[in-house]
Amino acid sequence: MGLSRRELLRLAAAATVAPALSSLVGCDDEAAEPTLPSYSWDGPLGPEDLFQHGIASGDPLPDAVILWSRVTQAGAAPVAVFWEIATDAEFTRRIAVGDAVAAPEADFTVKVDATGLSAGTTYFYRFWAQGRVSPVGRTRTAAAVDAERVRFGVCSCASLGLGFLHAYQALAEADVDVVLHLGDYIYEYGNEGGVIARTGYEPAHEIITLEDYRVRYAWYRSHSRLQAVHAAHPMICVWDDHETANDSWRDGADNHNEDEGEGPWADRRAAAAQAWREWLPVRVQAEPERIWRSFQYGSLIDLIMLDTRLWGREQKTIKEEIRLDPERTLLGEDQEDWLTEGLMSSTAQWRIIGQQVMLAPLTLNGIQLNNDQWDGYPAARERLLRQAQAAGNVVVLTGDIHSSWGCDLPIDRDAYDPETGVGSVAVEMVTPAVSSRTLPFLTPTIEGLIASNNPHLQFFDVTRRGYILLDVTAAQVQADWYLYDDIEPEVVPPPEHAAGLIVRSGEPRLIPADGPTQART
């Protein structure tokens, strides 16, 4: 049996934070014993919707994964929670169990770092509290040295007020090892300002305080399609700007005004970061606001996740003397040094960088179209691309811009040959929005000018939402864009396979694929 009800309540009452792990009992995968402690409860049942925000998992390692849930109940007392993980959905082969606490200090979220697992293995998990059981989640640890093929789902930018989250449902049903969410998981806007098409936000006003951000996450996590993708796959997340405020940087944001009663930026940033840590299945680091981290998928992939938004970013500018400053940084010196070390020390076949803003140059008649992306930090971009050139086999994954792009990445655009790809040192795949607004101002005429002014662009679509499936083998990486013509109806046709692009090992350029990659059998 597990801890008694009295012992669990004592544990809950004593908690001051929701711990990553209160206690753990486990056994070897191959010798899973049915004698592991089981959950028991002899008190009144909690509400039927105690686990109304579902479950989630994330930050998979070869031997560990974060498990997440939340309890929703009346009152402010901590709640004792029991969790279990198994190799089958019926939980007849349980691997580990443990006790945790859902505490008000963490908005009653529960986060467990389940360790001692086997690499490249699918597991099932669930939580218990007050006699109620959560939905069952499925997760998967990162592959070990023998990884031959890894598949990622890639997504970003979900404004829940603007359309249904069809991409999340499709990703839930896809054959992937993990979903990479590249930011704008929530949006901070309120109902004012003309940003709502389908429904209003909760809370109705722009979110600023910790309680505001918590309510917004709770509203998002009540959506069935978002719950579905979390229940089906582990997720690796980074934030972009809308998890705090539009066009944010380390010391402020375009959508934050202290003079209009929005308070100090540092307070808002800290509140947003805390809610993000509470509500997403991320492994908290020693520096809580540091989200840049890396993952390994055997000898096949080193996955490097960056923070191009808050950690070290200097404010965007239209002043050329500032934009062209050779010391200007988007990452901050410490993160840039860490990235350099990660790229140069990597022995994996592929180095995949997940980050927020478009790296490829995007110009029209020599003018940068968006200085919020790496175009506003050209010296920092050149430093990164030279590191990519030295490391080799670098693939960059990007979100933020609500559109789809497949790009070769030259250091010197004048030395780039679009016919042969000579001059490209890496490639970039930009995932479209899940539901946020597209770029309707880009008319066919302007699209044609963008194509002619930017020959390194191998594909782009600026009108549709969707996601990317990324298929990685030792020989090549293929990105497949799946796009929806319309996301506002509740029921829509399956997405179109809009494009497939391949980068082959040792050949840093994108070429068309013969067709989409197929799910593993």
Architecture of the 5-140 domain: Sandwich (2.60)
pLDDT band at 14 (very low <50, low <70, confident <90, very high): very low
Above 70 in pLDDT, residue 19?
Answer: no
- Tell me the whole-structure pTM to 2 decimals: 0.93
H-state helical runs in 233-377:
265-279, 320-323, 333-345
Residues 477 and 350: beta-carbon distance below 8 Å: yes
- What's the CA gap between 466 and 124, in Å, rounded? 27
Backbone angles phi, psi at 29, to 5 degrees: -55, -40
- What's the CA gap between 154 and 462, in Å, rounded? 17
- What's the CA gap between 209 and 126, in Å, rounded? 31
Output the CA angle 12-236-146, nearest 5 degrees: 110
The closest alpha carbon to 390, from 402, 382, 380, belongs to 382
Tokens of 472: 């990685």
3 state DSSP class of 258: helix
Q: Is 115 left (phi over 0), alpha (psi -120 to 50) or beta?
A: beta
Neighbour-count burial of 496, counting CB atoms closer than 10 A to its CB (0-12 exposed, 13-18 middle, 19+ buried): middle
- What's the CA gap between 125 and 122, in Å, rounded? 10
pLDDT band at 443 (very low <50, low <70, confident <90, very high): confident
Omega of the bond prior to 203 within 30 degrees of 0, cis?
A: yes
pLDDT band at 440 (very low <50, low <70, confident <90, very high): low
Q: What is the DSSP string of 473-494?
A: ESSEEEEEEEEES--SSSS-PP
Above 90 in pLDDT, residue 505?
Answer: yes
- What's the CA gap between 344 and 358, in Å, rounded? 22
- What's the CA gap between 159 and 179, in Å, rounded? 18
Above 60 in pLDDT, residue 27?
Answer: no
Classify residue 433 by its DSSP letter: B
The 3 state secondary structure assigned to 384-399 is HHHHHHHHCCEEEEEC
Q: Could you read off the pLDDT of 104-145 as tens digits, one per residue?
A: 999 999 999 999 999 999 999 999 999 999 999 999 999 988
Cβ-proximal residues to 486 (8 Å cutoff; 6+ apart), any chain: 492
Cβ-proximal residues to 106 (8 Å cutoff; 6+ apart), any chain: 17, 18, 278
- What's the CA gap between 514 and 517, in Å, rounded? 9
- What's the CA gap between 483 and 481, in Å, rounded? 6
Omega of the bond prior to 44 within 30 degrees of 0, cis?
A: no
Above 90 in pLDDT, residue 424?
Answer: yes
Q: Residue 265 carries which side chain, given as an amino acid letter? A: W
pLDDT at 498: 98
Q: Residue 80 carries which side chain, given as an amino acid letter? A: A
Backbone angles phi, psi at 218, to 5 degrees: -60, -40
Q: How many residues are listed for the chain in this entry?
A: 521
Mean pLDDT of 317-333: 96
Spell out the domain ranges in the chain.
5-140, 149-512
C-alpha distances in Å from residue 84, one per residue of 6, 136, 472, 483: 20, 10, 31, 37
- What's the CA gap between 365 and 452, in Å, rounded? 10
Please, what is the average pLDDT of the chain? Answer: 91
Q: Could you read off the pLDDT of 203-216 as tens digits, one per residue?
A: 999 999 999 999 99
pLDDT band at 193 (very low <50, low <70, confident <90, very high): low
* Alpha carbon of residue 385 to chain centroid: 23
pLDDT band at 311 (very low <50, low <70, confident <90, very high): very high
pLDDT at 259: 84
Above 70 in pLDDT, residue 90?
Answer: yes
pLDDT at 195: 53
pLDDT band at 327 (very low <50, low <70, confident <90, very high): very high
What is the number of other CB atoms lying within 10 angstroms of the CB of residue 40?
Answer: 14
pLDDT at 144: 87
Across 192-282, the runs of DSSP E, i.e. the strands, are 235-237, 248-249, 252-253
Residue owning tokens 């998890």: 243
Pairing of strands 404-410, 424-430: antiparallel
Residues 112 and 98: beta-carbon distance below 8 Å: yes
- What's the CA gap between 346 and 246, in Å, rounded? 34
pLDDT at 192: 75
3 state DSSP class of 156: strand
Mean pLDDT of 166-194: 92
Q: What is the CATH topology of the domain spanning 149-512? A: Purple Acid Phosphatase; chain A, domain 2 (3.60.21)
- What's the CA gap between 86 and 433, in Å, rounded? 34
